[in-house]
Amino acid sequence: MPLTDTAIRNAKPKDRPYKLSDQNGLYLLVNQAGKYFRYDYRFAGKRKTLAIGVYPTVKLKEAREKLDDARKLLSNGVDPAEFKKEVKNKLLEQTENSFKAVALEWFTKNKHVWTEGHSRTIIRRLELNIFPWLGGQPVSSITAPEILTALRRIENRGAVETAHRVHQICGQVFRYAIATGRADRDPSADLRGALPPTKSKRMATIIDPKKIGELLRAIDGYEGQLVTKCALRLAPLVFVRPGELRHAEWQEINFDQAEWKIPGEKMKMRTTHIVPLAHQAVSILREIEPLTGQGRYVFPSLRSAARPMSNNTVNAALRRMGYSKDEICGHGFRSMASTILHEQGWPSDVIERQLAHAEKNTVKRAYNHAEYLPERRKMMQAWAEYLDSLGNIS
């Protein structure tokens, strides 16, 4: 006699598991853990059982429909249990082994070695440019032409450099997929030369001594917010990256030792960096300390002391002073210092260490934040005095 919904609902577990038969081989297995629809059949001379579903998630009507599907597969010489396993594996590949899933796993495992800003840039580029079109595909099935189509969308909006960056990110994801056994090769490697080359772009800077003096005098006469003015005055003296400057915290400043120690998590290369502070730099920090010293950031946002200064504040101030983006930008103070200090004959190793450029030796990188520190202190003070002489700032 076929089962009914009422009989299934009223079935109670007993000391031992038992079965309630339906029709065409379908039955309900009842035990202490729950109620399960099953189908026993023979395939290739072997007795097998197909798990159809758990009641009440799967109701009786749905269980019978799934039974009919299984019987049709059998009549066509297909093992329904193996077919179900194959479908499950394909679904698994589309979820756990999709490009998006692998990319997010790769991102999670690597983001600790990047700065917060760099992490945001990487995930944003994937979310905007790759995931909508390739994210759901199994990472092992993606082809080079499919990647190129996605990259062409970026190129066609004029962002050629971004297209190259996204290409590099994709390559890293595919190589991670290979390492974790979810892909056999990196199809992005086949696209070498497919994108137009990027134009070499140097950060806008000023290296003519006379024009540097004019810039320093313009900064000294800046009539905007004091926080912005002090950031502008400090930028050429410390020549750190703009993100490092605006995220400066008072707890990182040591006035007794006249140095600023930037923790590794804020640095591009993820290692601690020491910035010796010339007398002029200390003076600027002492000037702003009464205004922002009770808070976290040396240069807080004008809207909220809980946040650092906006990433566009320094550049916007330079534009207000009449300098175009092709003349000077916040990052340009680094190029300015690098160029002139090399011309003045300071040792390249000392300059590069102060610029916190990449150290190829990863073991050495972890311990070199104090490398050449006496020489760097001397250089930073000499640099500050040189800038004073150009700007005639007392």
Angle (CA) 132-138-139 rounded to 5° is 90
Active-site choice (334, 353, 376, 377)? 334
Residue length of the chain: 394
Asked if 164 is an active-site residue, the reply is: no
Q: Are 333 and 239 in contact (CB under 8 A)?
A: yes
Active-site choice (35, 66, 229, 241)? 241
Asked if 112 is an active-site residue, the reply is: no
Backbone angles phi and psi of 300, in degrees to 5: -75, 165
User: First vs last Cα of the chain: how many Å apart?
Assistant: 103
Fill in the amino acid letter for 20: L
Q: Are 88 and 51 in contact (CB under 8 A)?
A: no
Active-site choice (273, 331, 353, 377)? 331
The count of other CB atoms within 10 Å of the CB of residue 284 is: 20
Rounded CA-CA distance 289/250 in Å is 9
Active-site choice (88, 217, 357, 364)? 357
Asked if 357 is an active-site residue, the reply is: yes
Rounded CA-CA distance 208/216 in Å is 12
Asked if 268 is an active-site residue, the reply is: yes
Question: Which residues have CB under 8 Å from 361's CB, separation 6+?
Answer: none
The CA–CA distances, whole Å, from 389 to 91, 168, 210, 217, 238 equal 69, 45, 11, 11, 17
Active-site choice (38, 111, 268, 378)? 268
Q: 2: cis peptide before it, omega within 30°?
A: no
Rounded CA-CA distance 309/248 in Å is 10
Residue 356 corresponds to which tokens in the numbers above?
Answer: 């916190």
Q: What sign does the dihedral 158-163-165-166 (CA atoms) show?
A: positive
Residues assigned a catalytic role? 241, 268, 331, 334, 357, 367
